[in-house]
Amino acid sequence: MIMIRSFVLFFAVLAVASSMATAQVRFRVAAGLSTDWITNDNPATYRLSGQGDDFDTTDAFGGGFDGVQVGWGIKGFADLDKQKMFRVPFGIDFWSYSGAQSISGSRSKISVRHEVVLTSASAGFEWSFVEFPLAYARAYIGAEARVTNVGENTITTNRTIVVDTNRIIEDEFVKNGKPAATRLGAMARLGIEGEIYYPIFLNTSVSWGVMNLIGRDTRSTADGGRGELLTPVSVNEGPESVVQHINFTFMIQVRI
């Protein structure tokens, strides 16, 4: 916890110091779509029942997060020079991860949904390396550090059983599988921003990185560990593995 606080404090001081370094600093704020997608072979992307066709309690469970996860974000930018080539970005993203799986029989159906909310704060440095004057646009690259909090997950099970033609049993069970966890990561970003009508801009970018570079639980669940970062329950899992992910943003930006 002390390390996380120091990490956040460092980048907060960096942003403030950079903004005070020159009287020419201008600020921009942006808000809009922010999606996340796990790209490596991680158990978080496996089916909830693991790799088999049926639920097997002797096997590890997957997270069910195979594909793009929707969210939104808010960002701020502090320009460090008159030409707006260098700036310090900082912001926060909220990603709603959701995965589901259903198994049907002749007289029954079981549906399971796994959900968790990720809150990710970031700060870094960006460089505008090329400008397109005719299009009133510029491209930029950057690097950012991230503190990501994985909230307590929710597992919802819906069961339908047909007893006979006159009787159908339907029930729902909701429980929490894993406690919240916080991890430190980093991303490299490539983006482009263009003027719509001053002072309104469109800012879109894509970044790749690792969600849990620092803070991974290296214990197996048999040794009392939490297991994987984004799977539903701590059952039959080894040490926490690396989560690689891609973040895409599409935001409306305003100069203030």
**CA-based radius of gyration for the chain:** 22
pLDDT of residue 82: 84
pLDDT of residue 12: 55
pLDDT of residue 175: 93
pLDDT of residue 16: 52
pLDDT of residue 256: 87
pLDDT band at 105 (very low <50, low <70, confident <90, very high): confident
Q: Which domains does the chain have, with CATH numbers?
A: 2-255 (2.40.160.20)
Residues in contact with 41: Cβ distance below 8 Å, sequence separation at least 6, in sequence order = none
Residue type, position 234, single letter: S
Span 11-28, average pLDDT: 59
Q: What is the pLDDT of residues 47-76, one digit of tens each?
A: 998 554 455 555 789 999 999 999 999 999
Other beta carbons within 10 angstroms of residue 141's beta carbon come to: 16
- What percent of the chain has pLDDT above 70? 87
Distance CA 191, CA 235 (A): 40
Q: What is the pLDDT of residues 85-95, one digit of tens each?
A: 999 999 999 99
Q: Which of 8-17, 27-36, 175-184 has the lowest mean pLDDT?
A: 8-17
- Calculate the average pLDDT of the chain: 89
Distance CA 214, CA 237 (A): 19
Q: What is the pLDDT of residues 112-137, one digit of tens each?
A: 999 999 999 999 999 999 999 998 99
Q: Which of 16-30, 145-159, 219-233, 239-253 has the lowest mean pLDDT?
A: 16-30
pLDDT of residue 1: 54
Residue type, position 156, single letter: T
Question: Is the Cβ–Cβ distance between 184 and 145 less than 8 Å?
Answer: yes
21 has pLDDT over 70: no
How far from 94 is each of 30, 75, 117, 134, 225, CA to CA, in Å? 14, 12, 7, 35, 26
242 has pLDDT over 50: yes
248 has pLDDT over 90: yes
pLDDT of residue 50: 58
